[in-house]
Amino acid sequence: MSDIAEVQSFTVTFIIRRFNPETDTEPYWQDFDVQMYSTDRVLDALHKIKWDVDGTLSFRRSCAHGICGSDAMRINGRNRLACKTLIKDLDISKPVYVEAIKGLPLEKDLIVDMEPFFAAYREINPFLQTSAKPEKEHIQSPEQRARFDDTTKCILCAACTTSCPVFWTDGQYFGPAAIVNAHRFIFDSRDEEAQVRLDILNSKEGVWRCRTTFNCSEACPRGIEVTKAIAEVKQAVLRGVR
Amino acid sequence: MTQVHNHEYDVVIVGAGGAGMRAAIESAPHAKTAVITKLYPTRSHTGAAQGGMAAALANVEEDSWEWHTFDTVKGGDYLVDQDAAEILAKEAIDAIIDLENMGLPFNRTPEGKIDQRRFGGHTRDHGKAPVRRACYAADRTGHMILQTLFQNCVKLGVEFHNEFYVLDLLLSEEKGQTRTSGVVAYELATGDIHVFHAKSVVFATGGFGKMFKTTSNAHTLTGDGVGIVWRKGLPLEDMEFFQFHPTGLAGLGILLTEGARGEGAILRNASGERFMERYAPTIKDLAPRDIISRCMVQEVAEGRGAGPEKDYVLLDCTHLGAEVLETKLPDITEFARTYLGVDPVHEPVPVMPTAHYAMGGIPTNTDAEVLKDNTTVIPGLYAAGECACVSVHGSNRLGTNSLLDINVFGKRAGRNAAAYALKAKHVALPKAPESDVLKLVETLRASNGSENVATLRKELQVEMDRNAQVFRTEESLKHAEDVIADLRARYANIGIHDRGQRFNTDLLEAIELGFLLDLAEVVVVSARNRKESRGGHMRDDFPDRNDADYMVHTMAYKADDSIRLDWKPVVITNYQPMERKY
Ligand SMILES: Cc1cc2nc3c(=O)[nH]c(=O)nc-3n(C[C@H](O)[C@H](O)[C@H](O)COP(=O)(O)OP(=O)(O)OC[C@H]3O[C@@H](n4cnc5c(N)ncnc54)[C@H](O)[C@@H]3O)c2cc1C
Ligand code: SF4
Ligand code: FES
């Protein structure tokens, strides 16, 4: 907090991969110089460009603090949320490269078609299935609740899935995010249909495609241990849940 | 070329936050239902809610829905409709159980029941002491609600039209009654226009905090739904009441949940004094938000602020310990670290009030039916959630009562919309129903004036923060009114850059600014007219509550080029207005 008074701004060069489907045949890179403060986010830079320089620059965003999952993008070659990436954490002696996440159809500038991503999510039955009809709440101990806490944090931003080399080359692979959301229910003590999800994930487009490259864990803005979750699902496929 | 598409449904729900999806879960199994949403459902700002959802489950200590009703009425400074508050508190218990049964992973007690914690203004036995009433999932309660409702929509196969911006509500007069025949939407991906012919329409479009600069609200919370209803000549209720949440990260507005104070965090001024002891001796840091925000601003105004500019106060969590912070408040701990570089485990966090919640909005009755005056409903038209005003929050909402509101009244809206659609026929569409939206979109797309949308929006936000925030006076509000009038005039001369059809967010930001300007004017005009202080509306020039003249809801109507104001009685059942002391 001590340096809050030092309000010093500097020029940062952003090189953004542009594509307008109505006019361009190929994407291209475009430079913008932006005045930034060290506590600004990359999202602030995109806003400055859009609001002051070029209104056609297109990207998704909503909450601006890392909880809605709208603005996953590749920043200097790594998948991150623009609203959670601070200028002070980037090497600004060099230009900052920003482009859309990979592996989903490019629509315009930083916007991709999210539908294939959500389709994979829907495949794994992402909802509680139980025959129990408790009068009030189901009873679940704090330990049982803790078992799947990590994977409840997912905001469906797709940073993990679109950082996965297997997903880039094999568009059929469910991808890490779908497995994370399956994990959330497979290890929930209230759910009775773990086996159905495990069978789905045991299929040819399921968990066995994962090559454990760890890109997904590094990409996750919620700090979910994605690779660990996938490993636990693999174990459960082989040995059962409990 | 802009194409026009036609759809027919029984029920159309506008918005896929908590209120919209809760309505969809009720409606979709019974009637052909579509949810139209400008964001992917899981991007909705319900996901930002942190601290909890109130219900007198009495899982950890004695509690009753009657105490909850009283707290809600008193918290709202008696401008709450008491019949509605009673429904809210009573149906809270089922609303929580519904969510748990749908899969929501609440924190648990050692016996495996839903755990509960303290929150501002929620007390045992009519104000005796704070009570543990907020059901929560760490500080991600809204995230879990949004995910759980979305999961259940997937389960039910609810039909979503994602990234469709509703821009018009279709109304017509039939047999002397105002009726709705549907809505018109703009599709972000293609620029096409869609006419949705429906028997029932539910508005669940959320709030409009983006008219302020310092806010906990998302960029997309621009009040479109409320603005559309306003432009159709329908009234808006209690728009002067906006909640400023005490603990926004200083300078940024990102929220730190009141749950932190529920767990024991303390507000301190520059000298380390726990100043709330002076203002609210009984419940101190757990006084309602309006009171705490005013005290904070006063501490700073009187020179007791912290920091180099003495312009904020401190939220001290250091005595809670790393364990409590990491397990019960992990997200806000991370926000402070990421965005301010402050670690709450070791240092107090700089905070100031942030524009948070719209108490006012589209007036409805307790069945979520939209009113066109004090008593007449528009059959088939419903509203729920932050865009609506039932009014369960009166002049100041209690924390954890909004997640509750969206579930209780979202459910009622969905159930009633479906039931209505099953017995009603479609009202005929007006001629060329798309024409107004087409004109709006094409005019803005071609606009090439000299004014910049972002500049106007920023000027609006700065003015609202300066003159229509925690403290207001006749002079400040008059100033704001003049500035807004000027901004509206300049808005007529804007120019945008993007002339394309596909993903034209430039165009949509211009449209959203139009709604913000309209609503800001209603907020300020309503605030000028209320010459008293009550709940979230504090007039420095009229510092007391004045029940003799103002124990009534404001009803604002659009009249040609001005705003006509009227009053609506408050429903009082059990609780006579008393002085509000904590
Ligand atoms: C940071 C934060 C923390 C909070 N914490 C709490 C808490 O702990 N407890 C509590 O009770 N309350 C809390 N609140 C308040 C509460 O979260 C909100 O009031 C509530 O979630 C609003 O829900 P909603 O469904 O009405 O709107 P939202 O969730 O905002 O959803 C609005 C929906 O409308 C859609 N929409 C808007 N305009 C259009 C349009 N033109 N066309 C189509 N669709 C449109 C959007 O796409 C979105 O899906 C918090 C609020 C914030 C900001
Ligand atoms: S697991 Fe993490 S990276 Fe993957 S979608 Fe969920 S939040 Fe995003
Ligand atoms: S804008 Fe919501 S996660 Fe970045």
DSSP per-residue codes, A197-239: HHHHHTSTTSGGG-----HHHHH-TT---HHHHHHHHHHHHHH
Percent of chain B's residues with pLDDT above 90? 98
Which of residues A170 and A12 earns the better pLDDT score?
A: A12
Tell me how far apart the alpha carbons of residues B74 and B72 are, in angstroms, rounded to a whole number: 6
**Could you tell me which residues come within 8 angstroms of residue B94 by beta carbon, excluding any fewer than 6 positions away?**
none
Confidence of residue A240 (pLDDT cuts 50, 70, 90): confident
Same domain for A84 and A20: yes
Classify residue A200: in a domain, yes or no: yes
- Regarding whether A31 and A44 lie in a shared domain, the answer is yes
Q: How confident is the model at residue A242 (pLDDT cuts 50, 70, 90)?
A: low
pLDDT in tens, A199-237: 999 998 899 999 888 999 999 999 999 999 999 999 999
Statement: residue B36 has pLDDT above 70: yes
Count of alpha carbons within 13 Å of B525, Cβ hemisphere only?
A: 20
Quote the percentage of chain A above a pLDDT of 70.
Answer: 97
The number of C-alpha atoms within 13 Å of A40 and in the hemisphere containing its C-beta is 19
Residue A4 lies in a domain: no
Strand pairing report for B266-268 and B313-316: antiparallel
Question: According to DSSP H, which parts of B205-264 are helical?
Answer: 224-231, 259-262
Nearest to A39 by CA among B210, B310, B346, B252: B252
Question: What number of CA atoms fall less than 13 Å from residue B15's CA on the CB side?
Answer: 34
Residue A1 lies in a domain: no
**Percentage of chain B modeled with pLDDT above 70:** 100
| Catalytic residue positions of B, numbered | 289
CA distance B331 to A63: 14
Residue A45 belongs to what domain range? 10-112
Q: Alpha-carbon distance B169 to B230, whole Å? A: 10
Q: Does B351 touch chain A (CB under 8 A)?
A: no
Tell whether A122 and A37 lie within a shared domain. no
Tokens for B24, please give them.
Answer: 């969809």
> B535 falls in which pLDDT band (50, 70, 90)?
very high
Question: Which tokens belong to B554?
Answer: 């404001």
- Which CATH number goes with the domain that contains A32? 3.10.20.30
Tell me which ligand sits closest to the C-alpha of residue A221. Answer: 2
Site of tokens 């997309």: B220
Q: Does one domain contain both A68 and A162? A: no
Q: What is the mean pLDDT of chain A?
A: 94
Contact: A55, B496; criterion CB under 8 Å = yes
Contact B103 A142 (CB under 8 A): no
Q: Which residues of B touch A122 (CB under 8 A)?
A: 154
Q: Is residue A3 part of a domain?
A: no
- Cα B17 to ligand 1 centroid, rounded to whole Å: 6
Q: Which three-class secondary structure state does DSSP give residue B33?
A: strand
CA distance A61 to B503: 13
Distance B118 CA to ligand 1 centre (A): 22
Ligand 2 contact, A155 CB (< 6 A): yes
Which residues from chain B sit within 8 angstroms of residue A138, using beta carbons? 100-101
Encode pLDDT of B174-210 as tens digits: 888 999 999 999 999 999 999 999 999 999 999 999 9
Please state whether A236 falls in left (phi above 0), alpha (psi between -120 and 50) or beta.
alpha
Query: Following DSSP, what letter does each residue of B264-280 receive, concatenated?
Result: T-EEE-TT---THHHH-
Looking at the complex, report in whole angstroms how far the Cα of residue A204 sits from the nearest Cα belonging to chain B: 24
CB B167 within 8 A of CB B224: yes
Considering the domain architecture, whether residues A80 and A162 belong to the same structural domain is answered as no
> Could you report the per-residue pLDDT of B467-510, keeping only the tens digit for each?
999 999 999 999 999 999 999 999 999 999 999 999 999 999 99
In a domain? residue A235? yes
Our CA angle for B143, B121, B477, nearest 5°, is 85
Residues with CB under 6 A from ligand 1: B 14-20, 36-39, 44-46, 48-53, 141-142, 165-166, 204-206, 216-217, 224-225, 255, 257, 356-357, 385-387, 399-404, 406
Q: Measure the CA dihedral A73/A74/A75/A77, to 10°.
A: 170
- Pairing state of beta strands B313-316 and B349-358? antiparallel
Q: What's the CA-to-centroid distance between B387 and ligand 1, angstroms? A: 9
Can you give the pLDDT at residue A2?
Answer: 42
User: How far is B145 from A83, CA to CA, in rounded Å?
Assistant: 23
Q: Which residues of A touch B505 (CB under 8 A)?
A: 50, 58-59
Q: Please, what is the average pLDDT of chain B?
A: 97
- Residues of B in Cβ contact (< 8 Å) with A54: 497
Whether residues A99 and A193 share a domain: the answer is no
Nearest CA to ligand 2 atom 8: A157
Residues A169 and A212 grouped into a single domain: yes
Which of B188, B213, B323, B503 should be substituted to probe chain A, the one whose Cβ sees the most A Cβ atoms within 10 Å?
A: B503
Q: Which two tokens stand for residue B302?
A: 């009187």
Does the distance separating the beta carbons of B48 and A63 come in below 8 Å?
yes
Structural domains in chain A (count): 2
3-state helix, strand, coil in chain B (%, to 5): 35, 25, 40
Does some domain include residue A5?
no
* In a shared domain, residues A123 and A107: no
**Residue A42 β-bridge partners:** none
pTM over 0.80: yes
* Interval between CA A7 and ligand 1 midpoint (Å): 34
Residue B453 with chain A: CB contacts under 8 Å: 51, 55
pLDDT higher than 70, residue B211: yes
Residues A234 and A120 in one domain: yes
pLDDT band at A241 (very low <50, low <70, confident <90, very high): confident
Residue B101 reports pLDDT greater than 90: yes
B540-565 pLDDT, tens digit per residue, is: 999 999 999 999 999 999 998 899 99
* Cβ-Cβ contacts under 8 Å for B333 (sequence gap 6 or more): B325, B326, B343, B344, B345
- CATH of residue A147's domain is 1.10.1060.10
How far B155 CA sits from the closest chain A CA (Å)?
7
* CB contact (8 A) between residue B342 and residue A59: no
Pick from B118, B131, B156, B375: which is nearest to B257 by CA? B118
Q: Say if residue A22 is in the same domain as residue A48.
A: yes
Closest alpha carbon to B163 in B342, B288, B326, B38? B38
Complex ipTM, two decimals? 0.96
Contact A107 B506 (CB under 8 A): no
Residue B416's H or E segment, with its range, is: helix B401-423
Q: Which residues contact B362 (CB under 8 A, 6 or more apart)?
A: B203, B225, B226, B229, B234, B236, B237, B370, B383, B387, B388, B389
CA distance B582 to B128: 9
Which chain B residue is nearest to residue A6, measuring alpha carbons?
Answer: B308
A167 with A79: CB under 8 angstroms?
no
Do residues A91 and A126 share a domain? Answer: no
Count of all residues that appear for chain B in the document: 582
Q: Which of A20, A59, A140 sits opposite B500 (nearest CB)?
A: A20
- Rounded to the nearest angstrom, the minimum Cα separation between B216 and chain A is 9
Q: Model confidence at A1, in pLDDT bands (50, 70, 90)?
A: very low
C-alpha R_g of chain B: 23
> Do residue A57 and residue A71 come from a single domain?
yes
CB contact under 8 A, B106 and A59: no
**Residue A3 predicted with pLDDT over 70:** no
Residue-by-residue DSSP string for B41-86: GGGSGGGG--S-EE----SSS---HHHHHHHHHHHTTT-S-HHHHH
Q: How many CB atoms lie within 10 A of CB A3?
A: 10
pLDDT tens for each residue of B45-61: 999 999 999 999 999 99
The DSSP code sequence of B449-511 is -SB-HHHHHHHHHHHHHHHSSSSB-HHHHHHHHHHHHHHHHHHTTBB-S---STT-HHHHHHH
What whole-number distance in Å separates Cα of residue B346 and Cα of residue B536? Answer: 33
Asked, for residue A76, whether it belongs to a domain, the answer is: yes
* Nearest ligand, measured from the Cα of B222: 1
Q: Is residue A228 part of a domain?
A: yes
Q: For residue A176, report the distance from its CA to the centre of ligand 3, in Å.
A: 20
Angle between helices B18-27 and B141-156 (to 10 degrees): 30
Q: CA torsion, points B244, B249, B250, B252, in degrees to nearest 10?
A: -90
Q: Does residue B120 contact residue B398 with C-beta atoms inside 8 Å? A: yes
Lookup: tokens for B342? 């402050």
Handedness of CA B55, B56, B57, B58 (dihedral sign): positive
| Predicted local confidence at residue A6, as pLDDT | 54
Pick from B158, B340, B498 the residue to mutate for testing the A interface (most A CBs within 10 Å).
B498
Per-residue model confidence as pLDDT tens digits over B351-374: 999 999 999 999 999 999 999 999
CB B206 within 8 A of CB B45: yes
Q: How many CA atoms lie within 13 A of A160 on its CB side?
A: 31
Nearest-neighbour CA in chain A from B38: distance (Å): 11
